[in-house]
C-alpha cells in the first residue's frame, strides 16, 4: 500500500488528539496506529487503529511493526512524553530521502518549545561508530518496512528486550542500509508532562548507564551492542597483550598530572590534594599551565617555590588543548612510570587515592586503571547521582561495551611507556576517551569501584550545561572516534584470522 502509516505512543487524550489531528491532515498519511500499553482504554476514532504492546521500546513491539503496517513506510514517533507535530513539507522530504537507494531509515532535526520560544535542535549524522543508545534521531523517524523485514529475516528478530527494542532494530538496519539525515527541522516538539521512565530528564540521561536503577536496561543495550559488534567483525574476545616491560628510566614511580588554564580559584586546592597524598613510593605533581591569564600562573609559581615536588610546566606552544598539555607532561623528563589524572577543579577524596591506584597498576597486568568518583557542588556537598563507579564494566566485555558508552570514568591512570607510544589527540574534549579506546584494543584496563575522587560541578567548568551546538560537536567527535576504533578492531580481527590460516 502506498502512503505512510504513522505510529504514535498513546499519551494523554489531549496530546494524542492533537497529534492525530495534525498527522491526519497530511496528504501522505493513510493510517494512524496508536500503541496502547493497557494503562488506558484505546482511542476510538475513524482512521485510527490501536495496537496493544508492552511498551514503546520493547523488543516485541518492534517485531510486530512490520506485521501490523501495510504501507511501504512507517513514521514512528519515539517520544512518549511530548506532543510531536509535523512541520510543513516534512513528510514529503522524509519520503524523498527514504527512497534514495540503500536507505532504511530517514530522520532529521526538530524545533523545541521552551521558556524563550521555539529553538531549533539540529541532529548529527549517524556513522558506523554511532552505536550509543542515546543517539538523537529526533522525535520521529521514517522507516522502510521492506528494509525492516529484510534485516529481521537476515539477522533475527529483536530479542525479548524491555528497553532496547528500537536500538536493536536500528543497529541491524545500519548493517545493510543507510540511516539518512535531513539537515533541517522536520517536527515541533512540546513537552506534554513529566518525563517517563523511558526518557527521563537530560541530567538523568547523561548518567543513565551508571545508574543502578537502569541496570537491567543497560544490560540489554550492552547485549544488543555486543551482538552488533560481532556481526560487524569488530568484537574483541577477552584475550589481551601483556603490558610490555619498559627499559626507560623514570625519576619517580608516579606523577599526578594536572592540565590547567585559568583556574585561579580551584587549582591550588587541586594541587594541595595531590601534594597531600600518602604513598610508599616517590611521586611528583606535574601542573601544565596552558598560558593562563587570570592569575593561575602566579598561584602555581608560588606553590612550586614552596613545594619542590610540584613541577610548574609552561609549554613553549600557545595553541595546545587538553590533550596536548597531557602530552607535554607525559613526554617530559619529569614524568614517572605511571601518570595519574587530576583535573584542575577536582580533588582526590582521601590521602590514599594515589597509593591505591598505583598498587593496582603494579600488581595487575594493566596498562590503565580507572577509579570511581562522586559528583559534588562547589561546597563539596554530594549532588545527584552521587557515586559514578561504572559497574557496567566487566573484565570480559568492558572494552566492547566501551564503544557504546560515553566515557570510562575517573580518575584515570596510565602506564607511561604505553601512553607515550599512543599519545593523546590534541583536543579539548574526548581526549581521555580516545586514548582509553586505543589502549583497550590491546591491553587490560583495571577498575577500582570505590570513590577516590571528587568531581566538582560548577557554572564555569567544562562539564557545565552545553548548548545544542556544543553537545552535537562533542557527540560527533566521539562518534568519529568510535568509527575509527571499530575500523581498527575489524582490521585487527582480520589479521588474527589470516595468521591462524597460515
Of the pLDDT bands very low, low, confident and very high (cuts 50, 70, 90), residue 212 is: low
Residues 40, 156 within the same domain: yes
In a domain? residue 16:
yes
Q: Which residues pair with 74 in a beta bridge?
A: 5, 143
In a domain? residue 226:
no
Of the pLDDT bands very low, low, confident and very high (cuts 50, 70, 90), residue 196 is: very low
Question: Per mean pLDDT, which range of 174-178, 250-254, 388-392 is the poorest?
Answer: 388-392
Taking only the tens place, the pLDDT of each residue in 225-266 is 999 999 999 999 999 999 998 999 999 999 999 999 999 999
Contact of 35 with 9, CB cutoff 8 Å: yes
* Residue 253 CA from chain centroid, whole number: 33
pTM of the entire predicted model: 0.93
Domain termination residue (choose one: 183, 198, 213): 198
Residues 276, 415 within the same domain: yes
Q: Cell 596498562 belongs to which residue?
A: 367
Q: Report the 10 Å Cβ neighbour count for 464.
A: 9
Helix (H, G, I), strand (E, B) or coil at 141: strand
Give the per-residue pLDDT at 36.
86
Q: The domain spanning residue 388 has which CATH number?
A: 3.90.550.10
Helix (H, G, I), strand (E, B) or coil at 175: helix
DSSP states of 100-127: STTEEEEEEEEEEEETTEEEEE--PPP-
Contact of 370 with 409, CB cutoff 8 Å: yes
In a domain? residue 139:
yes
- In terms of residue numbers, what domain contains 114? 4-198
Taking only the tens place, the pLDDT of each residue in 410-469 is 999 999 999 999 999 999 999 999 999 999 999 999 999 999 999 999 765 555 578 999
Domain termination residue (choose one: 166, 183, 198): 198
Angle between helices 468-501 and 431-442 (to 10 degrees): 10
Taking only the tens place, the pLDDT of each residue in 306-358 is 999 999 999 999 999 999 999 999 999 999 999 999 999 999 999 999 999 99
Give the per-residue pLDDT at 339.
99
Look at the chain and report how many structural domains it folds into: 2
Taking only the tens place, the pLDDT of each residue in 81-129 is 999 999 999 999 999 999 999 999 999 999 998 888 999 999 999 999 9
Average pLDDT over residues 480-491: 99
Amino acid at each position: 500500500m502506498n502512503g505512510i502509516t504513522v505510529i504514535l505512543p498513546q499519551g494523554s487524550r489531549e496530546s494524542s488528539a492533537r497529534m492525530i489531528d495534525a498527522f491526519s491532515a497530511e496528504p501522505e498519511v493513510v493510517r494512524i496506529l496508536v500503541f496502547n500499553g493497557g494503562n488506558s482504554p484505546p482511542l476510538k476514532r475513524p482512521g485510527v487503529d490501536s495496537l496493544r504492546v508492552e511498551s514503546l521500546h520493547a523488543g516485541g513491539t518492534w517485531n510486530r511493526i512490520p506485521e501490523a503496517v501495510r504501507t511501504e513506510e512507517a513514521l514512528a514517533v519515539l517520544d512518549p512524553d511530548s506532543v510531536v507535530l509535523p512541520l510543513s513539507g516534512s513528510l514529503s522530504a522524509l519520503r524523498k530521502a527514504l527512497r534514495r537507494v540503500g536507505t532504511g531509515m530517514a530522520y532529521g532535526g526538530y524545533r523545541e518549545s521552551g521558556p524563550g520560544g521555539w529553538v531549533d535542535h539540529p541532529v548529527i549524522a549517524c556513522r558506523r561508530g554511532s552505536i550509543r543508545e542515546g543517539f538523537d534521531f529526533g522525535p520521529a523517524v521514517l522507516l522502510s518496512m521492506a528494509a525492516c523485514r529484510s534485516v529481521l529475516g537476515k539477522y533475527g528478530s529483536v530479542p525479548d528486550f524491555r528497553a532496547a527494542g528500537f536500538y536493536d532494530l536500528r543497529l541491524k538496519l545500519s548493517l545493510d542500509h543507510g540511516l539518512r539525515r535531513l539537515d533541517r527541522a522536520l517536527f515541533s516538539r512540546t513537552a506534554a508532562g513529566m518525563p517517563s521512565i523511558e526518557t527521563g530528564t537530560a541530567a538523568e540521561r547523561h548518567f543513565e548507564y551508571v545508574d543502578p536503577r537502569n541496570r537491567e536496561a543497560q544490560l540489554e543495550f550492552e547485549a544488543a551492542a555486543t551482538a552488533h559488534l560481532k556481526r560487524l567483525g569488530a568484537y574483541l574476545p577477552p584475550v589481551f597483550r601483556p603490558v610490555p616491560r619498559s627499559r626507560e628510566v623514570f625519576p619517580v614511580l608516579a606523577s599526578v598530572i594536572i592540565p590547567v588554564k585559568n583556574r585561579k580559584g580551584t587549582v591550588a586546592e587541586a594541587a594541595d590534594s595531590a601534594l597531600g597524598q600518602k604513598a610508599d613510593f616517590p611521586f611528583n605533581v606535574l601542573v601544565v599551565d596552558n598560558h593562563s591569564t587570570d592569575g593561575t600562573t602566579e598561584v602555581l609559581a608560588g606553590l612550586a617555590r614552596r613545594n619542590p615536588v610540584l613541577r610548574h610546566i609552561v609549554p613553549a606552544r600557545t595553541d595546545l588543548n587538553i590533550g596536548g598539555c597531557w602530552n607535554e607532561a607525559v613526554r617530559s623528563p619529569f614524568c614517572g612510570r605511571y601518570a595519574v589524572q587530576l583535573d584542575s577543579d577536582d580533588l582526590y577524596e582521601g590521602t590514599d587515592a594515589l597509593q591505591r591506584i598505583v598498587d593496582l597498576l603494579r600488581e595487575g597486568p594493566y596498562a590503565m586503571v580507572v577509579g570511581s568518583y562522586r559528583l559534588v557542588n562547589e561546597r563539596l556537598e554530594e549532588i545527584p547521582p552521587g557515586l559514578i563507579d561504572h559497574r557496567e564494566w566487566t573484565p570480559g566485555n568492558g572494552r566492547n561495551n566501551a564503544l557504546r558508552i560515553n566515557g570510562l570514568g575517573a580518575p584515570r591512570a596510565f602506564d607511561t611507556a604505553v601512553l607515550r607510544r599512543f599519545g593523546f589527540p590534541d583536543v579539548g574534549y574526548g581526549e581521555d576517551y580516545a586514548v582509553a579506546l586505543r589502549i583497550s584494543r590491546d591491553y587490560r584496563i583495571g577498575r577500582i569501584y570505590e570513590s577516590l575522587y571528587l568531581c566538582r560541578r560548577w557554572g564555569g567548568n567544562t562539564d557545565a550545561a552545553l548548548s545544542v551546538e556544543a553537545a552535537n560537536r562533542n557527540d560527533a567527535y566521539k562518534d568519529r572516534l568510535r568509527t575509527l576504533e571499530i575500523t581498527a578492531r575489524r582490521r585487527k580481527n582480520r589479521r588474527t584470522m589470516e595468521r591462524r590460516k597460515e
